[in-house]
């Protein structure tokens, strides 16, 4: 059976044919509450729980991070490798990239050359099967396809902002018990609809965190129901903004407001 947008997830995924209930629901769950907001609320909580990494998934991701960290720090003995993004804040989907930052490199280092050197080292060690170096961006980055498990890994260097953002996001996640479930649902939604790549105009992880926090801070009256909050966020993005004219300005306002409000 083709499970559509859910086929990218775990092998135990299945869609119940009769009731069209996702694999996050148990055998008795049908989401039949009279209030559609309550239905959505309960299903979002179940989706977030289902997306939570298993112990095996955590250990596998840690194993991959450790392998790459060890070889980088061995080649550059004074360097420090830090996971950033969703891997550091435990807000990743099963298919999320692993983001690594290399810090404490010599001040006069040519970052692009360092990324090329490391890529050659990974290829020689048969740790990757594919790569792409993006050295013309504001922050040069190398995108790797790890082997044998197939993780996508993004590595940048000397970008302290990514490391400094980790405690901020962890603190944001404590703002409301429902903030993380809503965030995970939004991550699943943008991934399933292929709008999760910032280089192609999609939503980056940090922007999505700010957007969700903006929702909770601007409408505290909705903060007790994940369904209503998600519909509010969709309403903002779909009906309240002309993205051709105002999308960049909206994102600036959201980022500015959450930095001041939080």
pLDDT in tens, 202-212: 888 888 999 99
E strand or H helix at 81: strand 80-84
Distances (CA, A) of 151 to 60, 127, 131, 241: 10, 11, 12, 35
Beta bridge partners of 84: 99
Residue identified by tokens 């922050």 is 139
pLDDT in tens, 19-62: 567 889 887 777 888 888 999 999 999 999 999 999 999 999 99
At the top level of CATH, the class of 62-160 is alpha beta
Q: In what order do the strands lie in the sheet with 98-103?
A: 80-84, 98-103, 152-157, 141-146, 128-134
pLDDT in tens, 49-100: 999 999 999 999 999 999 999 999 999 999 999 999 999 999 999 999 999 9
pTM: 0.83
Predicted pLDDT at 58: 94
pLDDT in tens, 86-139: 999 999 999 999 999 999 998 888 999 999 999 999 999 999 999 999 988 788
Contacts 24+ apart (CB under 8 A), 197-206: 205/85, 205/86, 205/91, 206/85, 206/165, 206/169
Contact 99, 85 (CB under 8 A): yes
Q: Where are the domains of the chain?
A: 62-160, 166-247
């Amino acid at each position: 059976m083709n499970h559509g947008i859910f086929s990218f997830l775990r092998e135990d995924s299945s869609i119940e044919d009769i009731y069209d209930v996702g694999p996050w629901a148990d055998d008795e769950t049908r989401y039949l509450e009279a209030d559609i907001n309550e239905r959505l609320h309960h299903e979002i909580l179940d989706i977030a729980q289902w997306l939570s990494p298993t112990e095996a998934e955590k250990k596998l991701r840690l194993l991959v991070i450790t392998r790459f960290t060890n070889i980088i720090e061995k080649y550059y003995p004074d360097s420090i490798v830090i996971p950033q993004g969703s891997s550091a804040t435990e807000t990743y989907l099963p298919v999320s990239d692993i983001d690594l930052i290399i810090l404490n490199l010599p001040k006069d280092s040519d970052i692009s050359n360092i990324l090329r050197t490391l890529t050659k080292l990974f290829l020689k060690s048969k740790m990757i099967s594919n790569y792409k170096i993006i050295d013309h961006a504001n922050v040069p980055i190398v995108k790797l396809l790890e082997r044998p498990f197939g993780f996508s890994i993004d590595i940048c260097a000397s970008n302290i902002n990514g490391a400094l953002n980790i405690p901020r996001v962890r603190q944001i996640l404590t703002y409301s018990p429902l903030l993380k479930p809503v965030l995970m649902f939004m991550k699943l939604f943008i991934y399933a609809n292929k709008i999760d790549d910032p280089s192609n105009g999609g939503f980056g992880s940090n922007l999505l965190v700010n957007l969700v926090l903006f929702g909770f801070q601007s409408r505290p009256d909705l903060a007790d129901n994940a369904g209503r909050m998600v519909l509010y966020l969709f309403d903002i993005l779909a009906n309240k903004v002309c993205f051709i004219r105002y999308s960049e300005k909206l994102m600036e306002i959201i980022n500015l407001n959450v930095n001041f409000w939080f």
